[in-house]
Structure 1
């Protein structure tokens, strides 16, 4: 692959070693820099001015400069799990690597190493494996629960493969949060979400409810009989089958048809915005009580 082809395939980023391997001499490389054809982005790292400094180019520059492994949310973007990468490229380097004084892209570097099973090469870049990336990004991002859920839904990872990666990296930063999320994801009965709902009800002092009530011939997770409010608690979406989804829609229609108010709360919302969920519930209770 010649230099022009290499640049096109690598987002305009090239190192001295890559250029020499394609027949260029060190003096020819410096000549391109002096002519303004290449900009120096790091020690022996260059960007062709014919290419924009894209998000992909920033990641390649940081990897070429630091020589580490792209991880966390940056790895999630490289894997295609999220649409927007973080402003600073996240990378982990060995503890013996000296900090770089110059890099044309902002980097968020940490000193740590990963087991060989959790590192792969993707489009020429060393990056954490899909499983470890899902765990790290889920623990770090505000919508990390949704990220893990999507990964499980699309079957690009499994609970078993995530658990193995978690065990190999149990002492790493963020893995405690990842373990909490994975434990919830593995709970097929949704009982964990129901226990969380009860805990929040008690914290907010909301009473008058009954666990497991029958409304319109169907069982609801929770009910306020006096106010005629039925609540369903959903766990992780990836467990849902088509028949379960259809049952949920039928439940809403039937409950509403007999004059009850149907409310649905997900594990994700109960975890990330419990105050909003309780505000919605309290508003429904107050509306029913005022109309009585």
Structure 2
């Protein structure tokens, strides 16, 4: 289109100027992705922070401004609806998502944690857990990014979360179970996300006590509430039992409301298994 036609269409309302030479038809300006694309194209920027997490599918599209990042030497400033960040070394964190340049998942999580105004820290925390579970990034990559940010606000809390993810926790329920049950004083040592193959079928045990072949499964209410899933759980427990593993299952309500009772049950079964395996025999 010629500049004259563009000016004419803007004057008549057929086009709306979004800034920096970007225009859109009026009906599309309420589309969140159109606003993001305009913010990126008009500034040659990279989508970052909570906006990047939304494009990665880890948080809902924020109702607030679009967050983008440019190199420190770039001129320009933010406008209403766009927050412009200037950060060094952003180029090697860029990934293509939906045709737009977006900061890597690990960089997006750490950036959004430092500036949680877009999504809020609980949402960023959930995004970090989901990202590792979906293998969009690793706990190691999150830890490496954290190592570059020694003055990150709230760094201790994110560091603890990354450590738990590195240990194998894959949900808030598993984190709760790990901290309040499995790692409580006096509990036996457990390995999380322990792979087990039986007759060519591969399983991941939420937590496994290797010395007595005791598995602990933490069942979320949403995932394990259906009849079909319960039947799969029963079959799974029966299959792993064929190679000597006993499974204890704790649902969301019991695990979070009766942590002490769960600990006692695990200790009781663990002691019985030690006697069964002859580990407490005094010679």
Q: Same fold (TM over 0.5)?
A: yes
Q: Which residue of 2 aligns with 1:290?
A: none
Return the offset for 1:76.
Answer: 0.5
Deviations 1:90-130 (A, max 9, x none): 12233342325x55xx1222222334321233333222112
Distance in 1 separating the partners of 2:153 and 2:191: 22
- Alpha-carbon distance change, 25 to 175 in structure 1, aligned in 2, over 3 angstroms: farther
Which residue of the other structure, out of 44, 62, 78, is the alignment partner of 1:67? Answer: 44
What secondary structure, in the 3-state scheme, does the structure 2 residue paired with 1:126 have? strand
| 1:160 has 2:166 as partner | no
Distance in 2 separating the partners of 1:37 and 1:194: 57
Return the offset for 1:41.
Answer: 1.9
Which residue of the other structure, out of 236, 248, 252, is the alignment partner of 1:251? Answer: 248
Distance in 2 separating the partners of 1:243 and 1:44: 52
Q: Which residue of 1 aligns with 2:255?
A: 264
| 1:83 has 2:60 as partner | yes
Return the offset for 1:137.
Answer: 3.7
Normalising by structure 2, report the TM-score: 0.57
- Alpha-carbon distance change, 109 to 116 in structure 1, aligned in 2, over 3 angstroms: closer
Matches within 5 A, 1:164-243: 164-167=144-147, 169-171=148-150, 173-174=152-153, 176=155, 177-188=157-168, 197=180, 211-212=186-187, 239=193, 242=203
**Are the aligned partners of 1:81 and 1:147 in contact in 2 as well (CA < 8 Å)?**
yes
Q: CA RMSD in A?
A: 4.1
What secondary structure, in the 3-state scheme, does the structure 2 residue paired with 1:41 have? strand
**Unaligned 5+ runs, structure 1:** 1-23, 202-209, 213-218, 222-233, 257-261, 266-276, 283-292
**Unaligned 5+ runs, structure 2:** 196-202, 207-214, 219-246, 261-283
| 1:144 has 2:124 as partner | yes
Return the offset for 1:77.
Answer: 0.5
| 1:42 has 2:19 as partner | yes
Normalising by structure 1, report the TM-score: 0.55
Distance in 2 separating the partners of 1:115 and 1:109: 13
Aligned pair count reads: 206
- Alpha-carbon distance change, 50 to 122 in structure 1, aligned in 2, over 3 angstroms: same
**Are the aligned partners of 1:68 and 1:91 in contact in 2 as well (CA < 8 Å)?**
yes
Which residue of the other structure, out of 76, 98, 112, is the alignment partner of 1:98? Answer: 76
What secondary structure, in the 3-state scheme, does the structure 1 residue paired with 2:216 have? helix
Deviations 1:61-114 (A, max 9, x none): 2223333222111000111222232411112233342325x55xx122222233
